[in-house]
Amino acid sequence: MAEFEPKIVAFVCNWCTYAGADLTGTSRIKYASNVRIIRFPCTGRIDYMLLIKAFDEGADGIIVSGCHPNDCHYTSGNFHARRRWIMFRDLCNLMGIDMQRIKFSWVSAAEGAKWAEVVNSTVTDIRALGPYEEYRRILNHHSKEVTNG
């Protein structure tokens, strides 16, 4: 059997991490191709339900990333997001959702190398954890067939 390839969904903000990921590419830095990047206007726009939806669609891991504190394009979106994540993580932890599968980071537009490192280390961690079987087992019969890769 082929090695397990984790499906990672990355929720990133337009102004920092998305630009950072762009820099990773233009700098010709190679990084794992397991990540599907979804661009948001701001980390403040990343609804916690979307993270759950990612698992619902068969993701094995999630990256949430945006501008460093004080760098937000909209001044305070990332501060609001941070407060929300603090509470959301606690809730998920209580509900038994594996918090090792959701990684949070600040990656600026100048940190192309950091983005590669964030993705690579996430892929390594999730590969070690294996597919998110626990969540897949509860997926609704009505939702799409979940496949690897």
Partner 1 sequence: MDELKNKVRELLGSGTVKVFIGYTTGTAGTKRALFAEKPEDAEGLVFDSSCIQNLAVYVTKQEVKEKGMMGISATLPVMRSLVQLARENQVSDSGIKVIGITPESRLIDFGNLSEVEKYIHQFQLEIDQKNRDMLEKLDKMTVSERWQFWLKELEPCFKCYACRAACPMCYCHRCTVEYNQPQWIPVPSHASGNLQWHIMRAVHLVGRCIDCDACANACPLAIPFNLLNKRMIEDARKHFGGYQPVLSGDHLMSTFKPDDKENFIR
Contact partners, residue 68, CB within 8 Å, separation at least 6: 16, 78, 106, 108
| Residue whose CB is less far from partner 1, 84 or 127 | 84
Q: Which of 49, 145, 147, 149 binds partner 1 (CB under 8 A)?
A: 49
User: Please, what is the Cα angle at 5 between 127 and 85, to 5 degrees?
Assistant: 60
CB atoms within 10 A of CB 103: 19
CA pair distance 23, 21, nearest whole angstrom:
5
Residue 108 interacts with partner 1 (CB under 8 A): yes or no: no
Is residue 17 involved in binding partner 1 (CB under 8 A)?
Answer: no
Identify the residue among 80, 120, 125, 146 touching partner 1 (CB under 8 A): 80
Interacting residues with partner 1 (CB under 8 A): 48-49, 52, 56, 69-70, 76, 79-80, 82-99, 103-106, 118, 134, 138-143
